[in-house]
């Protein structure tokens, strides 16, 4: 015999997906088919492993989202419904999370304009405003390259290609980037490593260092925040999807949000800033002109 049915109730109480897989590796053995159920109330933060796992598409997985509104009223009782309606009036955001199971966030999410979805080949064929950004890896940090399209009219950024990894030699990194950038379009990269930039040039990649300047990190992130949408393909760009989705302002000991953007787990975000640098600079210039006109 074998165990066919496995049910992880309140599975968000497990500290990570690794704990789940360890159990499954022991249970799912020896049989021709299995049914594994994972049930939970979605945590507030999109960074929670359960919420991230739901976004991963698998052909053998069905995701079902249900709320109290789909249950017969007699199952719930009058008082439950009264409490739900009261919460809906006095605290709509908490109502959305507690009663509708929505991932409302902790308030520290940097990018609330994300759309994590498949970008079709038909869409990609229409992309004509390509952007290429590269953040070099340092020691244990990964190298991150992004291939993007910026729809200036609708203010939408599509991220549909990535190279991401640690311990990549320069030659191997260039080879991988060239596969995604066969026409060798200009790649804007971190200017802090002129020697590495030169090595990439010698290997045949057309690269240039980002101009950066004062407050370039903050200006770049705010520009990304202000876009109508940042669309990321989670299959083609799993690391960009993860980093943009997980990027949150940290809290201090009292639980208050800090003022600065965190400088960690942001390699693809840096690559996006570099790749879109010219648009960021132009946008800042227009804002300055508008401000000057207003003051005059």
| Residues catalogued as catalytic | 10
> In the 8-state DSSP scheme, what is residue 13?
G
Q: How far is residue 270's CA from residue 221's CA, in Å, rounded to a whole number? A: 9
Which residues, 6+ apart, have CB-to-CB distance to 113 below 8 Å? 225, 227, 228, 229, 230
Which residues, 6+ apart, have CB-to-CB distance to 263 below 8 Å? 217
The three-state secondary structure class of 150 is strand
Write down the residue that tokens 């789940």 correspond to: 20
167 Cα distance to chain centroid:
23
Of the candidates 192, 211, 217, the residue with the CA atom closest to the CA atom of residue 272: 217
279 Cα distance to chain centroid:
21
């Amino acid at each position: 015999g074998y165990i066919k049915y496995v049910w992880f109730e309140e599975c968000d109480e497990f500290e990570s997906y690794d704990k789940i897989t360890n159990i499954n590796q022991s249970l799912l053995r020896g049989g021709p088919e299995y049914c594994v159920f994972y049930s939970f109330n979605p945590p507030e933060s999109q960074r929670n492993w359960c919420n991230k796992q739901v976004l991963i598409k698998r052909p053998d997985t069905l995701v079902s989202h249900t709320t109290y509104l789909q249950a017969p009223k007699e199952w719930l009782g009058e008082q439950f419904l009264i409490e739900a309606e009261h919460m809906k009036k006095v605290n709509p955001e908490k109502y959305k999370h507690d009663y509708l199971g929505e991932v409302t966030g902790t308030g520290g999410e940097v990018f609330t304009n994300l759309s994590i979805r498949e970008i079709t080949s038909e869409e990609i064929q229409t992309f004509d405003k390509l952007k290429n950004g590269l953040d070099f890896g340092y020691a244990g940090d990964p190298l991150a390259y992004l291939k993007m399209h910026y729809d200036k009219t609708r203010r939408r950024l599509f991220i549909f290609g990535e190279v991401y990894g640690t311990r990549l030699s320069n030659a191997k990194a260039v080879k991988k980037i060239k596969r995604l950038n066969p026409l060798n379009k200009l790649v804007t990269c971190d200017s802090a490593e002129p020697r590495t930039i030169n090595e990439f040039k010698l290997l045949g990649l057309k690269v240039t260092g980002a101009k950066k300047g004062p407050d370039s990190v903050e200006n770049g992130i705010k520009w990304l925040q202000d876009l109508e949408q940042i669309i990321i393909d989670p299959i083609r760009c799993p690391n960009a999807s993860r980093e943009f989705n997980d990027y949150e302002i940290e809290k201090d000991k009292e639980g208050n949000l800090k003022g600065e953007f965190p400088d960690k787990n942001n390699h693809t975000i840096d690559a996006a800033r570099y790749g879109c640098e010219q648009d960021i600079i132009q946008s800042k210039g227009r804002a300055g002109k508008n401000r000057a006109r207003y003051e005059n």
